Amino acid sequence: MREIRQHLLSFLLLFLGCACVARGYVNPIEVEGKHFIDSVTKQPFYIKGVDYQPGGSSDVTSDKDPLSDPDTCVRDIVLFQELGINTIRIYSVNPDLDHDKCMSLLAAAGIYLILDVNSPLENQHLNRYEPWTTYNEIYLEHVFKVVEQFSHYNNTLGFFAGNEIINDEESAKRAPPYVKAVVRDMKDYIKAHSARPIPVGYSAADDLDYRVPLSSYLECCENVDEDISVDFYGVNSYQWCGTQTMESSGYDKLVEAYKNYTKPVFFSEFGCNKVLPRQFNEIEALYSKEMYAVFSGGLVYEFTQESNNYGLVELDSDGAVRLLKDFDMLKKHYDNTKLPTADDVTKAAAADSSVLGQKDALEKVPICEKSYKNLGISGKVADGLASDFIKNSVDIMKGHYVNLEENDFTTTYDIFDSNGNNWAGSKTIRQVNSIDATEPQTKPGGSSSASDGGSSSEASANGANGKKNAGSAPVSPVTAIAISAFLILINFF
Ligand SMILES: *[C@@H]1O[C@H](CO)[C@@H](O)[C@H](O)[C@H]1NC(C)=O
Ligand SMILES: *[C@@H]1O[C@H](CO)[C@@H](O)[C@H](O)[C@H]1NC(C)=O
């Protein structure tokens, strides 16, 4: 009798153990010195991702953006998992649309989002040549709406304040102070209203004239108490084409240029298409110890085939997907990519004394210089345009996770492999995180104080269907029933 009872007990423990280990909540990612880290496990987080904007950036309308249709989200998340990625970047969204279900599905699949706050629509981006005409309250309200809505999802990794705004002589003369102002405004808004510190960065066209000056200018502060620095820096790099080495591609120079950077740097776009199908051999270099002490991974440009010919998949007009040869190639490389652990990173940094150490990165506040080569930084940006929004927040639907049903995870769209046959993979998302409906997280201690974000005690959850269990351990109903059954059995013996 006692033996049976012991068996049942150990079985129960094993069962409970599995249920708890297999699924956790989505851990927010934070910036610590030169690295992204998982805020719970404290392991470094390396971006292994793709850029995602089906239809191109201009396909954002009043009723559609990349995260507004759960059916296409499921279809594409199935393929994100096939590629083995952990992050996507989206260039434009419409904050008036509902993104809860797509964000919940991404979170359940273990995929993070880096989101650009601008769009090609009027009043939703800076004019690079006359930024003073577009840096205004209408524009800032749009920016804050995107920030406000997406800051409530744990799988929002960060925001891009701008993408390639500085890309020629004229824009370099005029736009830099405006980019810096938008970064500052977003950081102030997040400090005032977000439950956690969500990093804000910039995504740069990699041009030798601006590579070092622009990244340094966006990193600098006027004094040690100030925090107007970008939290991370994205580089759009297309210089490794076909078969190359660290030296022939110039990746060695890129590493050199960012060795002293005090914040995470990564490729916000990469994947030269001058040699097709793309081989993606640069991935081996990017996640090697030659690079990972300085670069935190990258995002391949881009998921869907558009007119500029960088696609991994082709979409039919009926929503069916055709995988391209580039998809197979990228999957092969990402499958073989081992992301560095904290130990690996420490060792790689220690092996090269010219790399700024993590400790120095944490302590060093780069103070702004009087001038930066090739950049105009003296333009006077209008003051205080953001202050009302920062004081009172903006009025927009706050994102929150929703409950997902079993059949939400399966796509009904046709998927064809790169030979044109029905794709043999599973059309169901693998659930790696448990997602329960949540109320939007609120900043602890009221919404308008500007004290440090810090960690949030989650608002009690009460989902659309009244299921009230976020904040407690992730135990599914099936698990609960099984546990009860075991407990009854044990009592019986
Ligand atoms: C979000 O992250 C926080 C901090 O780790 C955690 O307490 C919370 O449960 C997470 N929420 C969800 C819905 O995953
Ligand atoms: C990095 O910092 C060192 C020491 O301050 C300096 O000598 C070196 O020029 C810097 N490298 C770059 C690329 O800025």
> What whole-number distance in Å separates Cα of residue 363 and Cα of residue 3?
58
What are the angstrom distances between the C-alpha of 341 and each of 36, 293, 296, 354? Answer: 12, 11, 12, 21
Q: Give the number of the ligand closest to the Cα of residue 41.
A: 1
What sign does the dihedral 433-437-440-446 (CA atoms) show?
negative
pLDDT at position 241 is 96
Q: Give the number of the ligand closest to the Cα of residue 28.
A: 1
Residues facing 266 on adjacent strands:
234
Q: Give the number of the ligand closest to the Cα of residue 255.
A: 2
Q: What are the pLDDT digits (tens) for 443-455? A: 765 443 333 333 3
Element spanning 31, H or E: strand 29-32
Domains of the chain: 29-416 (3.20.20.80)
Tokens for 23, please give them: 């699924």
> What whole-number distance in Å separates Cα of residue 346 and Cα of residue 226?
28
The active-site residue out of 32, 164, 290, 439 is: 164
Say whether 247 is catalytic.
Answer: no
CA of 260 to the centre of ligand 2 (A): 6
Return the best residue to mutate from 154, 402, 432, 460 for the ligand 1 pocket (most ligand atoms within 8 A of CB): 154
CA of 220 to the centre of ligand 2 (A): 15
Q: Find the residues whose C-beta lies inside 6 A of ligand 1.
A: 25-28, 39-40, 154, 401, 438, 458, 470
Element spanning 32, H or E: strand 29-32
pLDDT at position 436 is 84
> What whole-number distance in Å separates Cα of residue 324 and Cα of residue 150?
31
pLDDT at position 444 is 66
Q: What are the pLDDT digits (tens) for 96-149? A: 999 999 999 999 999 999 999 999 999 999 999 999 999 999 999 999 999 999
Return the best residue to mutate from 260, 263, 354, 365 for the ligand 2 pocket (most ligand atoms within 8 A of CB): 260
Say whether 164 is catalytic.
Answer: yes
Backbone angles phi, psi at 186, to 5 degrees: -65, -40
> What whole-number distance in Å separates Cα of residue 449 and Cα of residue 191?
9
| Secondary structure (3-state) at 15 | helix
Q: Find the residues whose C-beta lies inside 6 A of ligand 2.
A: 257, 259-260
pLDDT at position 440 is 73
Is the separation of the CB atoms in 399 and 99 below 8 Å? yes
pLDDT at position 101 is 98
The active-site residue out of 30, 269, 282, 302 is: 269
CA of 154 to the centre of ligand 1 (A): 6
Tokens for 463, please give them: 């989902």
pLDDT at position 24 is 72
Of ligand 1's atoms, which has the minimum distance to the CA of residue 107?
14
Query: Position 188: which residue type?
Result: D
- Residue spans of beta strands (DSSP E) within 46-145: 47-51, 87-90, 112-116
Is the separation of the CB atoms in 210 and 164 below 8 Å? no
Q: What is the DSSP string of 432-467?
A: -B-----PPP--TT-SS--S-----PPPPP--TT--
> What whole-number distance in Å separates Cα of residue 169 and Cα of residue 129?
10
Of ligand 2's atoms, which has the minimum distance to the CA of residue 258?
13
What are the angstrom distances between the C-alpha of 14 and each of 18, 367, 435? Answer: 6, 54, 23
> What whole-number distance in Å separates Cα of residue 390 and Cα of residue 147?
12
> What whole-number distance in Å separates Cα of residue 61 and Cα of residue 93?
9
- What is this structure's pTM? 0.86
Is the separation of the CB atoms in 297 and 270 below 8 Å? no
Residues facing 220 on adjacent strands:
none
Tokens for 470, please give them: 């976020």
pLDDT in tens, the chain (493 residues): 455 555 554 444 444 444 434 467 899 999 999 999 999 999 999 999 999 999 987 789 899 999 999 999 999 999 999 999 999 999 999 999 999 999 999 999 999 999 999 999 999 999 999 999 999 999 999 999 999 999 999 999 999 999 999 999 999 999 999 999 999 999 999 999 999 999 999 999 999 999 999 999 999 999 999 999 999 999 999 999 999 999 999 999 999 999 999 999 999 999 999 999 999 999 999 999 999 999 999 999 999 999 999 999 999 999 999 999 999 999 999 999 999 999 999 999 899 999 998 899 999 989 999 999 999 999 999 999 999 999 999 999 999 999 999 999 999 999 999 999 999 999 999 999 999 887 776 676 544 333 333 333 333 333 333 222 333 333 344 444 444 444 444 444 4
Give me the sheet containing 321-323, strands edge to edge: 313-315, 321-323, 415-416
Kindly report the protein residue whose alpha carbon is nearest to atom 12 of ligand 1.
Answer: 25
| Secondary structure (3-state) at 162 | strand
pLDDT at position 57 is 79
Q: What are the pLDDT digits (tens) for 178-225? A: 999 999 999 999 999 999 999 999 999 999 999 999 999 999 999 999
Residue whose token pair is 């420490």: 346
